[in-house]
Amino acid sequence: MAAAPRRRDPNTLSNYEHFTTTHTKISLAIDFGTRTLAGNAKLKIKSTNNSGQQEIVLDTSHLSILDVSLDDRPCEWQLAPRTEPFGSPLVIKLKQAIKDGDSVDVDIKLQTTDKCTALGWMTPAQARSEFPYMNSQCQAIHARSIFPCQDTPDVKSTYEFVIDSDMPVIASGLLRNVEKLEDSELRRHTCYQEIPIPSYLFAIASGDITFAPIGPRSRIATNPESLDAAKWEFEKDTENYIQELEKIVYPYQWKEYNLLVLPPSFPYGGMENPVYTYVTPTVVSGDRENVDVVAHELSHSYSGNLVTAATWQDFWLNEGWTTYLERRLQAAMFGEPFRDFSAIIGWKGLKDSVAEYGEDKREYTKLVPDLNGQDPDDFFSQVPYEKGYTFLSHLEALVGKEKWNEYIPHYFTTFARRSLDSLEFKENLIKFFAADESASSALKTVDWDAWYYGTGLPQKPKFDTSLADVCYALASKWENASANHFKPSSEDVKGWKGRQLVVFLDSVNDFSEPLSKELAQAMGDTYGFFESKNVEVTARYYRVGLRSRDEKVYQPTTELLSNVGRMKFVRPL
């Protein structure tokens, strides 16, 4: 019998240390009129460490529970009082204790409410369509507002999705069937996810969605008007990314890797839902400069989705490993200097996050923070991404890249379809290199407590700055433009990648004094920033103009804020 999971996640009210969900069937009808989902959730729950437990406790939040049955028989149940920010636990009484290893079927009739935190409902105007739109976002602890579950990344189950809608549906599972329901405008979409996933990776979306192939195992999905542009953006590189990542880890496990381009109000850059990565439309820039979002979200197919951090306190195991794989993938695609160039950008993001938290929120800057009683969403920052990446790169440097390359597939094989915490990672790494005297000696120099629980910035790595130096040099010319009589030319940025423009503009925005209005306008006109469709570039240039009080950027800034929901761009403006 498999060992029972330890109770290590402080952000769930479920008693998952005694029971674990092994399969979840979600049957829901989407009602765009009432903005609700209604149906039932059927959970197969296995006793793992019962110790005479007389109840099963599941997470819910702002969810209407209509009825509950156990093995198709009525049972006693109640919703306990709400505990912020974790919700109202659903307590299901057992008539008798369940023997370890045995399972019960829990069937729950439910309806979402207008307080559901996982669902985004858009009017046709918001969706830029003739039709409304709905999508879910369950990370970190929002799945419990769609269906009762053990809402912890420490529990993973297989899924069956049965979704009724009058518009196309996608889910974080492979589509098996679509059928029209009798005497109804609804169509029933049935999807399966046979690889166990945590509840935060439950995902559905429905709207005016069309599809096109972008590779032998990939499709793009978006609204009809944007399909051709989105297809062009991703069809050249997606399969290449998959194949290169397979060389670093091992063959892709999820059969399909698809992308859903959401309406502009989607607030994130991407979300790594299995089978269908959600991406912001801002990556469709017409120059393929932002398709590296695929490098990050695809890497999640291994780190986070297949091998999962057991708690949100260990979130760095998801995002640090994913950022590491992303940059290894970029190095394979574009050359080793690009890895450090990307890391330089990431280091700036880490510095900004640490500075933003200040002294009163030093806990937020730990690689492994204490989230007891905390909402994990409040801890979202660049820390798990970039501090995690820096730590893994440090470990790589200690043992040597060639040896580290052997550890990567070992790690993702050992913990595949499982969840682990930071201490398990440490134990696994040390054990793997135990027979290698030099690597083992190197790992003994690691101050694990300082890395895991230390606050603030780690020691800055030595980066290859070759791709960044030209950006800094040009920024320096602009900072001293008046004194040096600098005359800008379009040749200054000829052949530059979008990320180089990002580094240049970030440097300009870091000037202690803003540019004059005349210089800011000259920059935009000379380098074509007003004509650019790359929001990574234009949003940063608009900040330059706003600091300079250049009226010419006011209107395009207003338009960007009206058209783009991605928080990364909206907040700084």
Q: In this predicted structure, what is the pLDDT of residue 128?
A: 86
Residue 84 known to be catalytic = no
Q: How far apart are CA 459 and CA 551, in angstroms?
A: 41
User: Which candidate, 135, 16, 119, 19, places its Cα nearest to that of 62?
Assistant: 119
Q: CA 229, CA 210: separation in Å to the nearest integer?
A: 13
Tell me: is residue 567 an annotated ligand-binding position.
yes
Residue 267 has pLDDT above 80, yes or no: no
pLDDT interval class at 565 (50, 70, 90): low
Question: CA-CA distances (angstroms) from residue 232 to 219, 237, 324, 411?
Answer: 12, 10, 27, 35
Strand, coil or helix: what is 142?
coil
Q: Is 149 annotated as a binding residue?
A: no
- 428-434: list long-range contacts, CB under 8 Å, 24+ apart: 429/395, 432/407, 433/399, 433/403, 433/407
Confidence of residue 573 (pLDDT cuts 50, 70, 90): low
pLDDT, position 173: 98
Asked if residue 134 belongs to a known ligand binding site, the reply is no
What's the longest Cα–Cα distance across the chain?
85
- pLDDT (0 to 100) of residue 1: 40
Catalytic residue among 17, 233, 244, 297: 297
User: Which has more confidence, 98 or 311?
Assistant: 311
Reported as a single tens digit per residue, the pLDDT across 357-404 is 988 899 999 999 999 999 999 999 999 999 999 999 999 999 999 999
Identify the pLDDT of residue 569: 67
137-146 per-residue burial string, b: 16 or more CB within 10 A, e: under 16 = bbbbbbbbbb
Residue-wise burial string across 54-81, b where 16 or more C-beta atoms lie within 10 A, e elsewhere: ebbbbbbbbbebeebbbeeeebebeeee
Q: Is it the case that residue 2 has pLDDT exceeding 50?
A: no
> Considering the chain, what percentage of its residues have pLDDT values greater than 90?
84
498: helix, strand or coil: helix
CA-nearest of 272, 262, 345, 347 to 304 is: 272
Torsion of CA 304, 308, 310, 315, to 10 degrees: -20
271 labelled ligand-binding: yes
Q: Which domains does the chain have, with CATH numbers?
A: 19-206 (2.60.40.1730), 209-301 (3.30.2010.30), 311-464 (1.10.390.10), 466-570 (1.25.40.320)
CB 163 within 8 Å of CB 147:
no
Position of tokens 């950006």?
471
What would the mean pLDDT of 408-436 be, rounded to a whole number?
A: 98
Summary mean pLDDT of the chain: 94
Neighbours of 258 (CB within 10 A): 23
| Higher-scoring residue by pLDDT: 561, 2 | 561
Q: pLDDT tens for residues 276-317?
A: 999 988 889 888 888 888 999 999 999 999 999 999 999 999
Over the stretch 228-264, which tens digit does the pLDDT of each residue have? 999 999 999 999 999 999 999 999 999 999 999 999 8
- CA dihedral of residues 307, 313, 319, 324 (deg, nearest 10): -90
Average pLDDT over residues 434-450: 98
- Two tokens at 360? 């009163």
Does residue 159 have an active-site annotation? no
Does pLDDT of 568 surpass 80?
no
Q: Tell me which of 302, 385, 389, 407 is the catalytic residue.
A: 385
Give the number of other Cβ atoms within 10 Å of residue 44's Cβ: 16
Establish whether 549 is an annotated binding residue.
Answer: no
Instruction: Name the band, by pLDDT with cuts 50, 70 and 90, for residue 4.
Output: very low
Examine the pLDDT at 483 and tell me if it is beyond 70.
Answer: no
In whole angstroms, how far apart are CA 382 and each of 135, 227, 309, 395, 529? 25, 31, 17, 20, 27
Asked if 457 and 364 count as a contact pair (C-beta separation under 8 A), the reply is no
Helix (H) or strand (E) holding 206, with range, is strand 204-206
* 191 belongs to an annotated ligand binding site: no
Q: Average pLDDT for residues 52-61, to the nearest whole number?
A: 94
**pLDDT for residue 431:** 98
